[in-house]
Structure 1
Amino acid sequence: MSQVLDTPPPPAATAPDAADPAALAARYGLTVSGARPSLAEYVRQLWQRRHFITAFSTAKLTAQYSQAKLGQVWQVATPLLNAAVYYFIFGVLMGTSKGVPDFVPFLVTGVFVWTFTQSSVMAGTRAISGSLGLVRALHFPRAALPVSYCLQQLQQLLFSMCALLVILLCFGIPPAASWLLVIPVLFLQFAFNTGLALIMARIGAHTPDIAQLMPFLLRTWMYLSGVMWSLDHLIGDKDLPHLVLVLLRANPAAVYIDLMRFALIDSFTASQLPPHVWACAAGWALLVGVGGFLYFWKAEETYGRG
């Protein structure tokens, strides 16, 4: 009897998948939470949420000035006030308006187009780190956040463009067929801005301190982009290395600003555009737009972790 009681029971039969969690998960259709989907599936999921992206961007734009008494008027007033400050400092005090026909339309166009890029980059930098509650609570393609922020800035620019058209008419610049070029320019710039915002969103998600550094980098980029002055006049009488000239003329912010000026301002002629400007604008949009999307997608499963 003692021997019977002391004999251990035979081991239970082990289930075929018990020792292999991956096989067990596959058997019951379980997947890793937040796993990165394939690129094609990711694009499909993003397209399915296009209505969320547009609604989110519109809501953010509406709420941006909801506490101000003037409300949405600030959407136009803010870039106009920036242009007025730049005109006083650079146009009047520093004399950069000399030799630049239609300097006010020239300046306002540069400020509006640059603000679109600047705001998109800053919003993209904080897209993930500033929305951790949303990222951790809901499952959706994280690229929807940077894209929606860039769409918000595009809507902001369209409001500003209405004021710009009034300024053009007030300074005697009549409507022309070249104004239709604004559409492809905005499309290319939006693709470029979105790709750049996606790149900064991934960097900002893992290194939040980059948001503190970006204003200084963007200010330097602005001064190199001919927002307040003509790059053609600035570098025309200086003996700069050829590589520096090529980099200044291929600067994507300057390319989109110059194309917008060419489309809207009669006195800004094709001779003031960099060589192969349309190819350069399309190349930047394709390189940064597609490259930024792939760069962001590669880290999809890491957003909101930690």
Structure 2
Amino acid sequence: MAVENLTVVVEFILLGFSEVPNLQGFLFGIFLLIYLSILIGNGLLIFIIKMDQSLQTPMYFFLGNFSFLEICYTSVTLPRMLSDLWTQKRTISFLDCAVQFCFLYILAGAECLLLAVMAYDRYVAICKPLYYPLIMNHKVCVQLVVASWMTGVPLMIEQTYQTFCLNFCGPNKLNHFFCDVAPILELVCGDTYKTEVSVQFAAFVFILTPLLLILTSYVKIINTILKLPSTSGRTKAFSTCSSHLMVVGLFYGCAGIVYLQPKSSYSRGSLKVFSLFYATVTPMFNPLVYSLRNKDVIAVLKKLLHK
């Protein structure tokens, strides 16, 4: 009986920026600055919220948790990317790839859900102001944050198991910066239809569903704001919501392009660019958006710097 030779994949090679070998040092410096900016910006925002009593409100409680999520999310991918740029090694073990994949999607799902929770908080604050302290009490806020963190855990663990139990028997070069689902499925030997359907279902649950909830909340918010009698009241209400809307637009715009469009319609280059944008650039801009457009945060920061 003839024995068939089988190649079992035990590690992957992340190609990343391998097509520009002369720019590795420059790119390392750029992404190191981006990572430090994310850590410092989001960390400073958390510190400001914790230190000042005037910011102990549900809106800033959710914002602090969102900033912590951003730090965790980028720490799953950026340190590995920086290591690859510095050492030029680019290899990642099969297990490490699966762990990165799992945590990446758990945290991304949590971000989507927390953005929906933040939109609901703004809806209650503007549309039901008299009931706001009763509805958004501390216990409810903690429960909403815990639900955002934990809801995606079982589904993403199942998604990871389903993906990495497929048959990898040939090439092991991932044309990406981290272990993402699309480039991984390209290396599978066999039918991936069920896994692709599962990925689309997860995208629907954690991208489309929260986005629909956010849009519904803001339709009601805008309708309520337009009915306010004073111009100053409308301006203040719009200012409160604009920062969140900008973050939602950045995050969901890039995530939707990467995960919701049909497989046949995207190019590998554009996928890498949009993945890199929402995984690194968006978390860097979020603290700037929330701080520079928020008078309360600026006032507290000035007070702390004065002290």
Same fold (TM over 0.5): no
What TM-score does the superposition give when structure 2 sets the normalisation length? Answer: 0.28
Larger Rg computed on CA atoms? 1
* Larger helix fraction of residues: 2
